[in-house]
Amino acid sequence: MKRNFSFLFILISLWAYSQVEEKKLDELIQNTLKTFDVPGMSVGIIKDGALVYAKGFGVSSLTTQKKMDQNTLVGIASNSKGFTATALAILADEGKLSFDDKVTQYLPEFQMYDPYVTRNITIKDLITHRAGLGLGQGDLMFFPEGGNLTVNDIIHNVRYLKPENDFRTTLDYNNIMFIVAGEIIHRVSGLSWAEFIEQKILKPVGMNSSFGSYNRAKAAKVTNIIDAHAPVDGRVVAVPHDWNETANAAGGIISNITDMATWAEFLMNGFTTKDGKKLVSDKQIQQLWNLQISTPVALKNAYDSNFGGYGLGWFLTDVKGHKQVYHTGGLIGTVTQFTLIPDMKLGIVVLTNQQSGAAFNTITNTVKDAYLGVQDRNWLKTYGDRMAKVDADFTKGKKEILAKATAFQKEKNLQPKPEQVVGTYRDEWFGEVIVAQEGKTYRIYCKNSPRLKGELLPYSNNTFIAKWDDRSYDADAFVIFNYDENGKAQSAKMKPISDVTDFSFDFDDLDLKRKD
Q: What's the CATH code of the domain at 452? A: 2.40.128.50
Same domain, 357 and 415: no
**How far apart are alpha carbons 86 and 81 in whole angstroms?**
9
DSSP assignment of 176-202 equals HHHHHHHHHHHHHHSS-HHHHHIIIII
Same domain, 465 and 334: no
Same domain, 78 and 137: yes
Residue 499 lies in a domain: yes
Give pLDDT, residue 53. 94
Residue 353 lies in a domain: yes
Same domain, 323 and 435: no
Give pLDDT, residue 2. 38
**Is the CB of residue 370 less than 8 Å from the CB of residue 8?**
yes
Residue 13 lies in a domain: yes
Considering only CA atoms, which of 386, 393, 247 is closest in space to residue 330? 247
Same domain, 119 and 49: yes
Same domain, 365 and 433: no
Look at residue 467 and give its three-state secondary structure.
strand
Give pLDDT, residue 1. 38
**How far apart are alpha carbons 164 and 162 in whole angstroms?**
7
Distances (CA, A) of 414 to 230, 376, 460, 487: 36, 58, 7, 13
**Is the CB of residue 281 less than 8 Å from the CB of residue 262?**
no
Residues 6+ apart with CB under 8 A from 278: 270, 271, 272
Residue 146 lies in a domain: yes
Same domain, 352 and 249: yes
**Is the CB of residue 479 less than 8 Å from the CB of residue 452?**
no
Give pLDDT, residue 303. 97
Question: What φ, ψ does residue 224 adopt, rounded to 5°?
Answer: -90, 75
**Is the CB of residue 74 less than 8 Å from the CB of residue 394?**
no
> What 3 state SS string does 473-508 have?
HCCCEEEEEEECCCCCEEEEEEEECCCCCCCCCCHH
Same domain, 504 and 452: yes
**How far apart are alpha carbons 459 and 411 in whole angstroms?**
10
Same domain, 352 and 431: no
Distances (CA, A) of 247 to 236, 252, 295, 377: 26, 7, 25, 38
Distances (CA, A) of 438 to 72, 244, 415, 456, 491: 44, 30, 16, 11, 21
Alpha helices (runs of H) in 247-378, residue ranges in sequence order? 248-251, 257-268, 282-288, 357-372
Residue 66 lies in a domain: yes
CATH at 176 = 3.40.710.10
Considering only CA atoms, which of 125, 249, 239 is closest in space to residue 185? 249
Q: Which amino acid is at 366?
A: T
**Is the CB of residue 157 less than 8 Å from the CB of residue 429?**
yes
**Is the CB of residue 97 less than 8 Å from the CB of residue 69?**
no
Give pLDDT, residue 24. 87
CB neighbour burial string for 21-32, b if at least 16 within 10 angstroms, e if fewer: eeebbeebbebb
Residue 389 lies in a domain: no
Give pLDDT, residue 412. 84
In tens digits, the chain (516 residues) has pLDDT values of 334 444 454 444 444 424 546 888 999 999 999 999 999 999 999 999 999 999 999 999 999 999 999 999 999 999 999 999 999 999 999 999 999 999 999 999 999 999 999 999 999 999 999 999 999 999 999 999 889 999 999 999 999 999 999 999 999 999 999 999 999 999 999 999 999 999 999 999 999 999 999 999 999 999 999 999 999 988 999 998 877 899 999 999 999 999 999 999 999 999 999 999 999 999 999 999 999 999 999 999 999 999 999 999 999 999 999 999 999 999 999 999 999 999 999 999 999 999 999 999 999 999 999 999 998 899 999 999 999 999 999 999 999 999 999 999 888 889 999 999 999 999 999 999 999 999 999 999 999 999 999 999 999 999 999 999 999 999 999 999 999 999 999 999 999 999 999 999 999 999 999 998
**How far apart are alpha carbons 236 and 232 in whole angstroms?**
6
Domain coverage including residue 430: 411-514
**Number of domain units in the chain:** 2
Same domain, 373 and 416: no
Same domain, 356 and 452: no
DSSP assignment of 206-271 equals T-TT-BSSHHHHHHTT--SBPPEEEEETTEEEEE-----GGGHHHH--EE-HHHHHHHHHHHHTTS
Give pLDDT, residue 21. 66
